[in-house]
Homo-oligomer: A and B are copies of this chain.
Amino acid sequence: MKSYSLGDIASRLDLRLIGDPDCQIQGLGTLASANTGDISFLSNPSYLGQLANTSASAVIVDASQTDAVPTNALVADQPYVAFAYVSQLFAEQPEVVAGVHASACVADTVSIGEGVYIGANVVIEEEVEIGANSSIGPGTVIGRGVRLGESCRLHAQVTLYHGVRIGSRVNIHSHAVIGADGFGFAFDGERSIKIQQLGAVLIGDDVDVGAGTTIDRGAIEDTIVEDGVKIDNQVQIGHNCHIGAHSVICGCTAIAGSAKIGRYCVLGGASGMVGHLMLADGVKISAMSLVNKSISEPGTYSSGTGQMKVADWKRAIVRFQQLDSLALRVKELERLIEEEGIAR
């Protein structure tokens, strides 16, 4: 188990320490769940009530809350961000050791940087380049001509199709598929004729891709995911999409082809976006909402009805389906009252 003195943590993160620098920290916890030896944080003021009773051995707070901390404190401008950096000190992922597992099938023309780990049963086809210190999990398949940057981590059973290009410090979780054919067919009146998908997928630096996510290759030009984009599990990104830097796409979101998403957007879980639309920088879409028109101004957008008890909901949807006639009836009432001389 890892252990750091609080003074060591303060020094690594360049944070002010109030209290005992020799206090040993062995883990992390929420204010409510932390035990002795844990470090916690206060970011959302609504948890302030939990601060007084926490069992944590240290709490990260901003300068305005130091008086309220009943134990050791680290002072940060952004306590949650500092907590994120602390969490990285405690990463427990199994160490990977450089080398190529004997069972891996690696083509002769593959270029492998220093410090690279290639796991059991990995398959790497011709002319692939893998940057230094990258790690390829067991069973992953990398198609011909892929280029992968430095310090990437592909977990077990990822699939990269031919020609995909990926930057550095990119994490891709299991069963993600990058570069499968976009969904392009021309209908001739009787059947669907396949349009070959001749573009690639370009992924920038510091991108995360969740488990089971699919990012299709472009039809003619490339599908592009810019630097710092974070993509959760089971997201679908269609061909020729362009995702702006540092945008966040939550789980199960479906983005149709040729969508253009700005920088610093947030797409909530299970949201959807019709093809060929654009989102300006800084647009947020709430969970399970559908984007069916382009959005040119930042802000939060939603669709849907909110949940109801089923009996009430059944009445409401009947009324929803009569809504146009209801509105016309109200207009007629207004006209009658207006014309019959009832004063406004």
Q: A residues touching B (Cβ–Cβ < 8 Å)?
A: 27-30, 33, 78, 80-81, 83-85, 87-88, 90-94, 101, 103, 105, 119-121, 123, 125-126, 137-139, 141, 143-144, 155-157, 159, 161-163, 171, 173-175, 177, 180-181, 183-196, 198, 206, 208, 210-212, 214, 216, 219-221, 228, 230, 232-234, 236, 238, 246, 248, 250-252, 254, 256, 269-270, 272, 274-275, 285-293, 295, 299-310, 312-324, 326-327, 329-330, 333-334, 336-337, 340, 342-344
A157 to chain B, nearest CB (A): 5
Q: Given A120-B123, A326-B330, A333-B334, decide whether A141 and B138 contact each other with a Cβ distance below 8 A.
A: yes
Q: Write out the residue numbers on chain B whose beta carbons fall within 8 Å of the beta carbon of A234.
A: 212, 214, 234, 236, 254
* Cα-based distance from A289 to B308 in the complex (angstroms): 10
Alpha-carbon gap, A330 to B337, bound state (A): 12
Report the minimum CB–CB distance from A299 to chain B (whole Å).
6
Inter-chain CA distance A314–B27, complex, in Å, is 41
Q: Are B301 and A304 in contact (CB under 8 A)?
A: no
Q: List 26 A-B contacts (CB under 8 A).
A: A84-B184, A85-B193, A87-B219, A92-B198, A121-B123, A123-B138, A123-B156, A138-B141, A156-B161, A173-B180, A180-B211, A181-B210, A183-B230, A183-B233, A191-B246, A210-B214, A251-B256, A256-B269, A269-B274, A287-B292, A301-B309, A301-B313, A303-B308, A305-B320, A312-B321, A329-B334
Q: A174-B180, A323-B320 are contacts. A233–B230 as well, Cβ < 8 Å?
A: no
Contact indicator A185/B251 (Cβ below 8 Å): no
Most buried by B among A155, A316, A326: A316
**Chain A contact residues: helix, strand, loop or mixed:** loop
Q: Other CB < 8 Å A-B pairs besides A33-B220, A211-B214, 11 of them?
A: A78-B186, A78-B188, A85-B193, A141-B156, A156-B159, A272-B288, A290-B304, A301-B310, A302-B309, A306-B320, A326-B327
- B318, B321, B342: the one contacting A336 at CB < 8 Å is B342
* Closest chain B residue to A126, Cβ basis: B94
